[in-house]
Amino acid sequence: MKYYSTNHTAPEVALGEAVVRGLAPDKGLYMPERIEKLPRSFYDGIASMSFHEIACRVAEAFFGDDIEHETLRKIVCDTLSFETPVVRVEPGIYSLELFHGPTLAFKDVGARFMARMLSHFIGRDNGRVSVLVATSGDTGSAVANGFLGVEGIDVVVLYPKGKVSEIQEKQFTTLGRNITALEIDGTFDDCQRLVKSAFLDRELNERFRLTSANSINVARFLPQAFYYFNAYAQMRRAGENGEIVVSVPSGNFGNITAGLFAKRMGLPVKRFIAANNSNDIFLQYLITGVYTPRPSVATLANAMDVGDPSNFVRVLDLYGQSIDAIRADISGARYSDDRIRSILADTLKRTGYLLDPHGACGYQALKEGLQAGETGVFLETAHPAKFKDTVEPIIGQPVAVPQRLAEFMKGQKLSVRLPSDFDTFKRFLSDRQ
């Protein structure tokens, strides 16, 4: 399988180069040259398959041309050391709980898979790679913990000062070893800009092998398709045979893009909803037909605080730049902080189910958008305890903190504070060698 750039001016590359590079030389994002449609027999039998069996079949379709079968199976099984259960919240609406991994967030799947795949490729030439990752919250913790102690890989996490929760921050600033955390005076967009600028800086790339573990990397976002297939299997086991609508809390758009790939592979999902917070750039695109990025604003759903979603170009590429085709498969919704507060409190009172601020957006988009004959699944992307200081005042009661999170809180913060200009960031990277 070859991978091409969304800007279509860089040479096509093999999977290993796409994973190690992260970003194409022409600043585009890598896309696979084809998307294999899985046979009807796979979907007919999916309800009787385990998560590992499902994910291995999907992984073969993505990566089977480039990685030996047994190696790929081991990468998948090592990645998925936890379940992604579907839980009924109320009639017709289900939560796909993606917070049962090591850092209690959906990005554990993509980060763990990428760590193992990158280790596989660099192990062939005994090389060393520096992974740069910008985070608005959960990416940093998932990547840092997924790559912790992996031989030959150094990780630098950039995060906006004061704009991630304390628990999120502790999950990637306390690890040490091969993990460095940079506290940037700026927004997530500033962090993402620094990372992209580093990839395009000739001097840095001559000195280091740089790659990204953000969802711009194909090995990060593609494996996230696994849990869409697993959700479908669970819905069928539960006897839900209606048309399925999936609502995805959306920030950088890697998660929903993985779902769109699953749909192209034949997964019987009728349509998707991209649930935004006040950073509603994609919703405005759906309304106007014009993509207008703007500086992000801080919200309660901080992992979605993105003003220029990187994976938007993949959505455009997937749909041949057609706004009509995109509108046919994806609708949008927007929720302010005040609405998120009311959704959290009301849902807990009515159903007994505690949402996190991101899941609240996904849930409400289904609540408002489901049509007759449709069944909804929303992605609950992180455990509510990761946003304890936000959630507790809203619901008026304590949120139980899982033991895994409590252990992170005991660690000592080791981050380095930097301004948001590229020259300072470049000096920091250069001086580390």
Note the pLDDT of residue 139: 83
What percent of the chain shows pLDDT beyond 90? 80
For residue 122, pLDDT over 90 is answered with: no
Kindly report the CA angle at 386 between 249 and 119, in degrees rounded to 5? 80
Note the pLDDT of residue 125: 61
Note the pLDDT of residue 404: 87
For residue 157, pLDDT over 90 is answered with: yes
Note the pLDDT of residue 126: 60
Domain residue ranges of the chain, discontinuous segments joined by +? 79-104+221-401
159 burial level (CB within 10 Å; 0-12, 13-18, 19+): buried
Residue type, 323: I
Q: What is the mean pLDDT of residues 364-387?
A: 95
Note the pLDDT of residue 239: 93
Beginning with the edge strand found earlier in the chain, give each strand of the sheet holding 129-134 in spatial order: 210-212, 129-134, 153-160, 179-184, 416-418
How far CA 352 is from CA of 85, 88, 103, 355, 356, in Å, comes to 17, 11, 24, 10, 13
Question: H-helix or E-strand containing 156?
Answer: strand 153-160
Residue 274, strand partner residues: 248, 332
Residue 183, strand partner residues: 159, 417
| Confidence band, pLDDT 50/70/90 cuts, at residue 71 | very high
What is the Cα–Cα distance from 374 to 406, expressed in whole angstroms? 39
Note the pLDDT of residue 3: 97
For residue 124, pLDDT over 70 is answered with: no
Contact 146, 139 (CB under 8 A): no
For residue 433, pLDDT over 70 is answered with: no
Contact 274, 366 (CB under 8 A): no
What is the residue whose two structure tokens read 């399988």?
1
Nearest to 275 by CA among 210, 193, 334: 334
Q: What is the mean pLDDT of residues 345-367?
A: 98
For residue 354, pLDDT over 70 is answered with: yes
Pairing type for strands 86-90 and 93-97 reads antiparallel
What is the Cα–Cα distance from 132 to 376, expressed in whole angstroms? 36
At 181-216, the pLDDT tens digits run 999 999 988 998 999 899 889 999 889 889 888 788
| Confidence band, pLDDT 50/70/90 cuts, at residue 236 | very high
Neighbours of 126 (CB within 10 A): 8
Kindly report the CA angle at 94 between 90 and 97, in degrees rounded to 5? 130
| Confidence band, pLDDT 50/70/90 cuts, at residue 151 | confident
Q: What is the pTM of this model?
A: 0.91
For residue 123, pLDDT over 80 is answered with: no
Q: Does domain 79-104+221-401 have CATH number 3.40.50.720?
A: no
How far CA 254 is from CA of 66, 67, 149, 311, in Å, comes to 22, 23, 26, 6
Residue 265 backbone dihedrals phi, psi, to 5 degrees = -80, 0
**Contacts for 365-372 with beta carbons within 8 Å, 24 or more apart?**
365/247, 365/273, 365/275, 365/333, 365/335, 366/93, 366/245, 366/247, 366/273, 367/93, 368/333, 369/245, 369/247, 369/273, 369/331, 369/333, 370/92, 370/93, 370/245
Q: What is the mean pLDDT of residues 31-59?
A: 97
What is the residue whose two structure tokens read 């498969």?
329
Looking at every residue in the chain, the average pLDDT score rounds to 94
At 130-140, the pLDDT tens digits run 999 998 777 88
What is the Cα–Cα distance from 32 to 209, expressed in whole angstroms? 22
